[in-house]
Copies of this chain bind each other. A is one copy, B any other.
Amino acid sequence: MDYNAEALKKHKELKGKIGISLKDSLDSQDKLSTYYTPGVAAVSTYVADHPEQARDYTWLNNSVAVISDGSAVLGLGNIGPYGALPVMEGKAMLFKHFADIDAVPIILNVHTADEIVSTVSAIAPSFGGINLEDIAAPICFEVEDRLKEMLPIPVFHDDQHGTAIVVLAGLINAMKVTGGDLSKARIVCVGAGAAGTAIMKLINLYAGPEILAVDSKGIISSSRTDLNDDKKMLLEFTNKNNVSGSLADALVSANIFIGVSQAGLLTAQMVKTMAKDPIVFAMANPTPEIMPDIAKAAGVAIMATGRSDFPNQVNNSLAFPGIFRGALDNKVRKITDDHKIAAAKAIAGLVENPDAEHIIPSAMDEQLVPAIASLIV
Residues of A within 8 A of B (CB): 1, 3-8, 10-12, 14-27, 29-30, 32-48, 51, 54-63, 73-76, 79-87, 89-97, 102-110, 115, 118-119, 121-126, 285-286, 307-308, 363-364
Contact = CB atoms under 8 A, between A and B. Distances in A.
A95 B26 CA distance: 11
Contact of A10 (B6, B8, B24, B90): B24
Copies in the complex: 2
Given A22-B18, A97-B25, A3 B38 contact: yes
A57 B15 contact: yes
Nearest to A1: B30
Q: Chain A at the B interface: mostly helix, strand, loop or mixed?
A: helix
A104 to B, nearest CB: 5
A87 B40 contact: yes
A86 B118 CA distance: 24
Given A89-B59, A121-B109, A35 B7 contact: yes
A7 B54 contact: no
B17 A22 contact: yes
A57 B126 contact: no
A43 B11 CA distance: 8
A44 B104 contact: no
B86 A106 contact: no
A50 to B, nearest CB: 9
Contact of A42 (B7, B19, B37, B92): B7
Contact of A23 (B17, B34, B55, B102): B17
Given A19-B23, A39-B6, A58-B89, A33 B308 contact: yes
Contacts of A93: 22, 26, 35-36
Contacts of A107: 123, 125-126
* A38, A82, A96: residue with the most chain B Cβ atoms closer than 10 Å: A82
B19 A34 contact: no
A212 to B, nearest CB: 29
B122 A15 contact: no
